[in-house]
Chain A
Amino acid sequence: MDIFGILHSTIRLASPIILISIGGLFSLKVDIFNLGLEAFALMGCFSAVAATYLTKNLLLGSTIGVVVCVIYGLIYSFFVIKMKVNAVICAVAFITLTSGLTRYLMQPIFGTSGKFILDRSFALKPIDLGIFSENNLIGLILNNHTILVYVSIVLPFITHIFLNYTKYGLYIRSIGLNQVAANAAGINVDLWKYLASMASGFFCGLAGIQLAMSMNLFNVEMTAGRGFTALAVLIMTGAQPIPTFFAALLFGFADSISNVLSSGGYQPQFLAMLPYGLALMAVVLPKVFRLIGEKRKRKLSFIRILNREGGE
Chain B
Amino acid sequence: MRIRMKDAISHKINIALSSLTNPVFAIVTAFIMGGVIVALTGGNPFQAYRVLLTGAFGSFSSLSRTIRFTLPIIMLGFSFGISERSGYFNIGQEGQMYAGAMAIVFVQYIFGDTPRIVLIILMACAGILASGLISYVPALLKLKLSTDEVIVSMLLNYIMVLLSKYLLLYSPIAELGKSTALSIEVEPGISGQVIFIFAFSIIIIYMITYKSSTWGYQLRLIGKNKDFAELSGINVGKFMLIIAFIAGAFSGISVFGEVLGVYHRVYNGFASNLGFYGMTAALIGGDSVFGLIAGALILGALQSGSISLATMTNTQSEIVLVVQGFVMLFSTIKIFKHFSCFDKKKELKKKR
Residues of A within 8 A of B (CB): 35, 79, 83-86, 88-90, 92-101, 103-105, 107-108, 113, 224-225, 228-229, 231-232, 235, 267, 269-270, 272-273, 276-277, 279-280, 283-284, 287-288, 291
Q: Which of B141, B150, B322 contacts A101 (CB 8 A)?
A: B322
Task: Give A94 to B276 CA distance when docked, in angstroms.
Answer: 11
The answer for the CA separation of A88 and B329 in the assembled complex, in Å, is: 11
Asked if A100 contacts B324 (CB within 8 A), the reply is yes
**CB contact under 8 A between A96 and B324, given known A267-B170, A276-B159, A287-B145:** yes
B151 touching A93, Cβ below 8 Å: no
Judging by beta carbons under 8 Å apart, are B325 and A96 in contact?
yes
Asked if B319 is at the interface (CB within 8 A of a chain A CB), the reply is yes
- Residue in chain A with minimal CB distance to B333: A83
Q: Which residue of B lies closest to A83 (CB)?
A: B333
**B343 contacts the other chain (Cβ, under 8 Å)?**
no
**Closest Cβ of chain B: how far from A223's Cβ, in Å?**
11
Give every chain B residue within 8 A of A84 (Cβ-Cβ): 333-334
Whether A228 touches B273, Cβ cut-off 8 Å, given contacts A100-B321, A269-B165, A269-B169, is: no
Q: Judge whether B325 and A269 touch: CB under 8 Å.
A: no
Alpha-carbon distance A104/B41, docked complex (angstroms): 10
Complex CA–CA separation, A79 to B319 (angstroms): 22
Is there contact, CB below 8 Å, between A86 and B332?
Answer: yes
Give the chain B neighbours of A284 by CB distance below 8 A.
Answer: 141, 145, 147, 152
Given contacts A269-B166, A277-B159, 5 further A-B contacts (CB under 8 A): A88-B89, A96-B321, A100-B320, A232-B155, A267-B170
Q: Which chain A residue has the least Cβ–Cβ distance from B144?
A: A291
Give the chain B neighbours of A229 by CB distance below 8 A.
Answer: 155
A100 nearest CB neighbor, chain B only: B321
- Within 8 Å CB of B198, what residues of A? none
* Cβ B328 vs Cβ A267 within 8 A: no
Is A85 touching B333 in the complex (CB atoms < 8 A)?
A: yes
Please, could you name 7 A-B residue pairs with CB atoms under 8 Å apart, sorted by A? A79-B333, A86-B332, A92-B91, A96-B324, A96-B325, A100-B325, A108-B41
What is the minimal beta-carbon distance from B324 to any residue of chain A, in angstroms?
6
| Pairwise interchain contact B166-A235, C-beta atoms closer than 8 A | no
- Complex contacts, B320 vs chain A, CB 8 Å: 100
- B229: chain A residues at CB < 8 Å are none
B283 in contact (CB, < 8 A): yes
Q: How far is the CA of A270 from the CA of B37 in the complex (A)?
A: 39
Cα–Cα, bound, A160→B325 (Å): 35
Please tell me if the beta carbons of B145 and A92 are within 8 angstroms of each other in the complex. no
Min CB–CB distance A33 → chain B (angstroms)? 8
Judge whether A93 and B329 touch: CB under 8 Å.
Answer: yes
Q: How far is the CA of A231 from the CA of B149 in the complex (A)?
A: 13
By the criterion CB–CB under 8 Å, are A85 and B332 in contact?
yes
CB pair A79–B41 under 8 Å, yes or no, is no
Which residues of chain B come closer than 8 Å to A101, judged between CB atoms? Answer: 37, 322, 325
Give the nearest-CB partner of B168 in chain A: A269
Residue of A nearest to B334 (CB): A84
Please tell me if B154 contacts chain A, counting CB pairs below 8 Å. yes
- How far apart are A172's CB and chain B's nearest CB, in angstroms? 22
User: Once the chains bind, are A85 and B329 in contact (CB under 8 Å)?
Assistant: yes
CA distance in complex: A276, B158 (Å):
7
* B162–A99 touching, CB < 8 Å: no
Which are the 9 A-B pairs with shortest beta-carbon distances? A100-B321, A97-B325, A93-B328, A269-B166, A287-B145, A100-B322, A96-B325, A104-B318, A93-B329
| B148 close to chain A: CB less than 8 A | yes
Q: Are B332 and A228 in contact (CB under 8 A)?
A: no
Question: How many Å lie between the Cα of A277 and that of B156 in the bound state?
Answer: 8
CB–CB A92/B328 < 8 A: yes
List residues of chain B with CB within 8 A of the CB of A88: 89, 91, 150
Structural contact, B332 and A89, CB atoms closer than 8 A: yes
Docked pose: A158 CA to B346 CA in angstroms: 47
A269 and B329 form a contact (CB under 8 A):
no
Binary contact readout B266-281 vs A (1 if CB under 8 angstroms, 0 otherwise): 0000000100100110
Please measure, in the bound complex, the distance between the C-alpha atom of A97 and the C-alpha atom of B321, giving whole angstroms: 6
| Contact A104-B319, Cβ < 8 Å, known A85-B333, A276-B158 | yes
Task: Judge whether B42 is part of the interface by a CB distance below 8 angstroms.
Answer: yes
Q: Is the CB of A291 within 8 A of B145?
A: yes
Question: In the complex, A92 Cα to B91 Cα: how many Å?
Answer: 9
Q: Is B163 an interface residue (CB 8 A)?
A: yes
Q: Using an 8 Å CB-CB cutoff, how does the interface string of B153-180 with A read, 1 for contact, 0 for none? A: 0111011001101100110000000000
Contacts of A90 in B (CB 8 A): 329, 332
Complexed CA–CA distance, A288 and B146 (Å): 10
A103→B321 contact, CB < 8 A = yes
B146 interface neighbour in A83, A92, A96, A287, Cβ under 8 Å: A287
A35 and B321: CB pair below 8 A? no
> Known contacts A97-B329, A269-B165, A280-B156: does B321 contact A89 (CB below 8 Å)?
no
A117 to B17, CA, bound (A): 50
Please determine whether B146 and A104 come into contact, CB atoms closer than 8 angstroms: no
